[in-house]
Amino acid sequence: MARKIRKPAEAESEDEVRRAVREHYKELALQEKPCCGSGKSTMCGCGLYSDSELGVVPSESSSVSAGCGNPTAIAGLKEGMTVVDLGSGGGIDAFLSSKKVGPKGKVYGIDATPEMILRARKTARENGFDNVEFRLGEIEHIPLPDGCADVIISNCVINLSPQKQQVFDEAFRILRPGGRLAVSDIVLLKELPESLKADMAAWSSCVSGAVLEGEYLGAIKKAGFEQVKVEERAVYDHEQLSSYIGGSSEPTAVTSFSGKKDRMDLSGTVASSKVTAVKPAGKERLR
């Protein structure tokens, strides 16, 4: 069955989108200076975690944190659980989860950018996170067996996928019946201007790959999940979005974006939503 794909007009293929996304996050993975810089953006993982949370994760992970929420806060993690972090980046949420599930639990971080995986593995090794394993792979083809996870988390990643339905299908496959999905992600509340939709840098920056919130929730339900719920939604105003995609912390410039509000007002268009859902007990894949 043909899947719905939205991608920038100039990108010839889905693989080109994936390559550009990997290049973008490779630069972030190799970066030494903190991603937040002096900016006040909350879309770069900045200001999203409490001081006590930041106190238990290695700075090598928080300095390249690029999330848009804090999915561990809504994941209901308990000791002994197996957690999978889709698009784990530098590992901040995987390390937070590791503390919550304890030595009897296990955390897998999956990421498609080799440099991110190498960085996260080094951080885990050097900081004694023995229950965390980072695997190189695409979240559309998760390198884990059926029914292995109690909880799946993800922070600002699924918007980057050109195959979002496939990601939710895969999440459903690897969760045990009764398991929970808890994601923070960028969604749209209104359609973006065409020029921004066609900008690959805006895709890599977690904006133009995003879909309308209703479409996003619909894909989760279509995968077979129940109790799909938006737990929290932070709607960005124009200034917040400008400081993010027009900001100096971005490895790739979003040239199609005009920071001037009178030329392109994006207030109320983009939001970060925290969504939870449950794989029904005793139910397998619907499709």
Ligand X SMILES: C[S@@+](CC[C@H](N)C(=O)[O-])C[C@H]1O[C@@H](n2cnc3c(N)ncnc32)[C@H](O)[C@@H]1O
Q: Give the 3-state secondary structure of residue 92.
A: helix
Asked if 66 is part of the footprint of ligand X (rule: CB under 6 A), the reply reads yes
DSSP-assigned letter for residue 181: E
- State the Cα–Cα distance between residues 130 and 138, nearest whole angstrom: 23
Asked if 113 is part of the footprint of ligand X (rule: CB under 6 A), the reply reads yes
Exactly one of 139, 207, 210, 270 binds ligand X (CB under 6 A); that residue is 139
- State the Cα–Cα distance between residues 220 and 200, nearest whole angstrom: 25
DSSP string, 22-81: HHHHHHHHH--S-TTTT---STTSTT-S-HHHHHHS-HHHHTT---SS-GGGGS---TT-
Phi, psi of 151 (to 5 degrees): -140, 140
Asked if 124 is part of the footprint of ligand X (rule: CB under 6 A), the reply reads no
Part in contact with ligand X (CB under 6 A); list of ranges 82-90, 96-104, 234-242, 269-277: 82-90
CB of 139 to ligand X, least distance (A): 4
Asked if 75 is part of the footprint of ligand X (rule: CB under 6 A), the reply reads no
Number of residues that bind ligand X (CB under 6 A): 26
Asked if 250 is part of the footprint of ligand X (rule: CB under 6 A), the reply reads no
Question: What is the x/- site pattern for ligand X, positions 4-23, by CB under 6 A?
Answer: -----------------x--
> In this complex, which beta carbon is closest to ligand X, that of residue 72 or of residue 131?
72
Asked if 41 is part of the footprint of ligand X (rule: CB under 6 A), the reply reads no
Q: Give the 3-state secondary structure of residue 169.
A: helix
Asked if 208 is part of the footprint of ligand X (rule: CB under 6 A), the reply reads no
Asked if 138 is part of the footprint of ligand X (rule: CB under 6 A), the reply reads yes
Strands (E), the chain: 82-86, 106-111, 132-136, 149-155, 175-188, 226-235, 270-278
Asked if 25 is part of the footprint of ligand X (rule: CB under 6 A), the reply reads yes
Asked if 204 is part of the footprint of ligand X (rule: CB under 6 A), the reply reads no
- By the criterion CB under 6 A, which residues form the site for ligand X? 21, 25, 45, 65-67, 87-90, 92-93, 110-113, 116, 138-140, 155-157, 160-161, 206
